[in-house]
């Protein structure tokens, strides 16, 4: 039986610079986080099966707000700012550090975080910080090792196994490629579990 993709209905709702600008804190929200140029926008476009829902950019770090996509009145995707090593002013970086820390601590509807990492450069400082926030708040974190098409199968599996060895209990990880759709079904299963969707076709 072919599984359905319930995320095709995602649509842009708003961009928030402050937490108070976010939609009401109810229902189910899943956040997508990732360092600049890790493939976050491509991953969002792939699992929602839309070409340009999340704008991909040749200039990394353009997402300077929390971008909200709505699935229905009770389910949302939150695309978090993709900073890391992007060239942004220190004042803005500090602002987002505070906003992000508060978001993880206080957002009641946050059900899980998809943390996107380039499989060739996993677990940089930004990634570790995101994982720490998830661990402290006890929010499940699912790591996507993206751009898996850039590596042969052996090295890709090796990178995944090495990463899994040091993960906290709240975290899981998988290989993913937006280009080849590698790991898409596994990601859709994880998201459906968090959003309480049944992916079986009726």
For the chain, give the percent of residues with pLDDT over 90: 74
- The predicted pLDDT at position 86 comes to 54
- The predicted pLDDT at position 54 comes to 87
- Backbone φ and ψ for 165, nearest 5 degrees, come out as -60, -35
Give the residues of the chain that fall short of pLDDT 50. Answer: 85, 202
- The predicted pLDDT at position 201 comes to 57
Both tokens of 74, joined, read 């009770």
Q: Please state, in angstroms and rounded to a whole number, the distance separating the CA atoms of residues 11 and 147.
A: 25
pTM of the model: 0.92
Q: Please state, in angstroms and rounded to a whole number, the distance separating the CA atoms of residues 86 and 58.
A: 12
Both tokens of 163, joined, read 């990463």
β-bridge partners, 177:
182
- The predicted pLDDT at position 177 comes to 97
Task: Please name the residue that has the structure tokens 């790991």.
Answer: 183
Q: What is the pLDDT of residues 112-154, one digit of tens each?
A: 999 999 999 999 988 998 999 999 999 999 999 999 999 999 9
- The predicted pLDDT at position 202 comes to 44
Contact (CB, 8 A) for 185 and 157 = no
Contact (CB, 8 A) for 194 and 111 = yes
Both tokens of 154, joined, read 């052996």
Q: Please state, in angstroms and rounded to a whole number, the distance separating the CA atoms of residues 5 and 198.
A: 10
Non-local CB neighbours of 158 within 8 Å, separated by 6+ positions? none
Both tokens of 168, joined, read 């906290």
């Amino acid at each position: 039986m072919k599984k359905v993709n319930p995320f095709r209905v995602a649509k842009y709702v708003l961009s928030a610079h402050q937490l108070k600008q976010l939609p009401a804190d109810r229902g189910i929200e899943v956040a997508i986080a990732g360092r600049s140029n890790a493939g976050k926008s491509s991953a969002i476009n792939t699992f929602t099966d839309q070409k340009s829902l999340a704008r991909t950019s040749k200039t990394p770090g353009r997402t300077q707000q929390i971008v909200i996509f709505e699935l229905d009145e009770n389910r949302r995707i939150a695309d978090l700012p993709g900073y890391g090593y992007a060239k942004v002013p220190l004042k803005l970086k500090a602002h987002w550090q505070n906003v992000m820390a508060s978001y993880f601590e206080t957002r009641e509807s946050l059900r899980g975080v998809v943390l996107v990492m380039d499989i060739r450069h996993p677990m940089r400082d930004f990634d570790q910080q995101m994982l720490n926030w998830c661990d402290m708040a006890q929010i499940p974190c699912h790591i996507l090792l993206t751009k898996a098409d850039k590596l042969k199968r052996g090295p890709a599996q090796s990178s995944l196994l090495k990463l899994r060895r040091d993960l906290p209990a709240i975290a899981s990880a998988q290989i993913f490629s937006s280009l080849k759709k590698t790991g898409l079904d596994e990601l859709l299963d994880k998201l459906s579990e968090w959003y309480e969707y049944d992916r079986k076709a009726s």
